[in-house]
Structure 1
Amino acid sequence: MAWLAQSGLENGESDVPAAFGPGDGNLANYLWDGNKVQVVDFEDSGRSDRAFELAEITEHVSSWIGPPLDVSSFLAHVDLTAAEASRLRDCRRLLALVWLFLLSFDDSDSLRNPPGTAERQAARLMELLG
C-alpha cells in the first residue's frame, strides 16, 4: 500500500506518448503466425501507452499460469525510453496487485485457476515490489 500511495499512478497522467492499445494482455488475444502478431480482441481497447500495454501482457495471469512467457526476452525486443521503462515497472506492479486482488476472489468450490494461484501471484507481486 505504501508503494501505491507514492506511485503517482492514480492521477492518470504520464510523460510517455499515448498510443492505441487493446487493453487486455491475455496471451490468447495475440496470434503469432511466425512473422507477425495479430491482435484479435479489442473489447477493452482505447487510449493507452506502450508501457501499460506491455505490462498488461507481462502481468496477465495467462503469461505464467501455463507455459510461462519469458518476460525478459519478450521485453528485450522493445526499445523503451527511460520514461517508458520507469512507467513499465510501475504498471507491472500495479497490474500484479490487480491480479492478486482478482485472484483472491476465486471460489474454492469452483476454481478457475489451479490451486495456489493467488499465493503464487502474491509472491510475484512481492518480487516486483522488491
Structure 2
Amino acid sequence: MTADNVIKRFAKGDDGRAEREWRALTLLAMHAPGLAPDPRKADLAASEPVVVMSRLAGVPLRGAAVGDEKIKALAEAVTALHSAVPSDIITKIPLRPGHQGEVIGHLDIWAGTARPRAGGLVRQAMEAGLSWLARSGLKAGTPAGVPPVFGPGDGNLANYLWDGSRVQVVDFEDSGRSDRAFELAEITEHVGSWVEHPLDVPTFLDRFDLSPAEAARLRTCRRLLALIWLFLLAGDDPEHPRNPVGTAERQAGRLLDLLA
C-alpha cells in the first residue's frame, strides 16, 4: 500500500476474484465515478494476480452504531451500485459467486453433514428452514419480473466506508450479475449487520422502492440467506470461535422469526 494507492494481491488459483474486482472497478469508474476506488492498473495474467486501486478515506460502517444519517448514505450507495451499470452490459456479466443456485447446492450438502451434528434451537431452526426451502420453489430459479442488476456480492458492512458525508464501497471479488432483492438480503442477513451494532433493517429497507415482485422475493431471499448463515455459524470452531458464544443460537432465533 502507498499513500495514494492500495495494492491488492490474490493467491494462485484465485477462482476469478482478481478479474471480478478489476471488472467492477472499471465499470463503476465509468458509470458511477466516486462510488468505489479508481482502478489504477492490474496484472490479471500473473501467477499471483494484482489489482491496484486508489485508496479511499473513511471508516467501515461495521463496528459502530449506524444511525439515520449513515443509513440514508448506505441506501444511496447501494441504490447507486444497483442502478449504475446499464442493463445491456449487466446481461453480459456472469452471475456472481454465491448466487441462489449455488447456495442452495451448499445447503443440499450441509443438510446431510452439518444438520446431524446440531442440537437444540439450532437443529430446530435448521429443520424448519430446510422444510421451507423444499417447498419454496427457489430451485426453479429467479422469478419473472425481477430485473438483473450489478451486485457487489458481499453484504459485510465492513465494505461500506463512511467519510462523514457519504458511503463508498470496496471489495468486489464476488461481484457479478444479481438482483436487488438478493443483494439487499445479503446486507440485512449478514452476521456483521446484527452481531455487534444491529442495523435498523426496517428503516434501511424502507429507502428502496421495490416492485411487488422484488418485495416478495426479498422476503424469500432473507430466509434463504438467514438459513445459509445458520449453517455457517453452527460450523464455527468451538476452540477458535470467530463470533461470540451463542451467535448460532441467536441466528436460529432470527431465522425462525423470518419463517414465522
Q: What interval of TM-score do these two structures reach, taking the shorter chain for normalisation?
A: over 0.9
Identity of aligned residues (%): 72
Further displaced range: 119-128 or 30-39: 30-39
Counterpart secondary structure, 1:24: coil
Counterpart secondary structure, 1:43: coil
1:45 offset after TM fit, Å?
A: 0.5
Counterpart secondary structure, 1:80: coil
Cα separation, 1, equivalents of 2:136 and 2:165: 37
Matched, 1:56 2:186: yes
Alignment-derived partner of residue 137 in structure 2: 8
Cα separation, 2, equivalents of 1:13 and 1:52: 10
1:6 offset after TM fit, Å?
A: 1.6
Please list the CA deviations of residues 19-64 of structure 1 after superposition, one character each: whole Å capped at 9, or x if unmatched: 0101110000112334432110101111100110000000000000
Alignment-derived partner of residue 106 in structure 1: 236
Match of 1:70 among 200, 208, 211: 200
TM-score (norm 2): 0.49
Further displaced range: 117-126 or 25-34: 25-34
Cα separation, 1, equivalents of 2:253 and 2:164: 33
Cα separation, 2, equivalents of 1:98 and 1:56: 11
Cα separation, 2, equivalents of 1:52 and 1:4: 15
- Unaligned 5+ runs, structure 1: none
Q: How does 1:9-88 map to 2 (within 5 A)?
A: 9-15=138-144, 16-88=146-218
Given residue 112 of structure 1, which amino acid in structure 2 is its aligned partner?
R
1:10 offset after TM fit, Å?
A: 1.8
Counterpart secondary structure, 1:31: strand
Give the length in aligned residue pairs: 130
TM-score (norm 1): 0.95
Further displaced range: 8-17 or 116-125: 8-17
Please list the CA deviations of residues 61-103 of structure 1 after superposition, one character each: whole Å capped at 9, or x if unmatched: 0000111000000001111111001000000000000000001
Further displaced range: 67-76 or 36-45: 36-45
Counterpart secondary structure, 2:168: strand
Cα separation, 1, equivalents of 2:177 and 2:189: 19
Cα separation, 2, equivalents of 1:13 and 1:75: 20
Given residue 218 of structure 2, which amino acid in structure 1 is its aligned partner?
L
Given residue 204 of structure 2, which amino acid in structure 1 is its aligned partner?
F
Counterpart secondary structure, 2:239: coil
Given residue 116 of structure 1, which amino acid in structure 2 is its aligned partner?
G
Which one has the largest radius of gyration? Answer: 2
Cα separation, 1, equivalents of 2:136 and 2:199: 26
1:9 offset after TM fit, Å?
A: 1.6
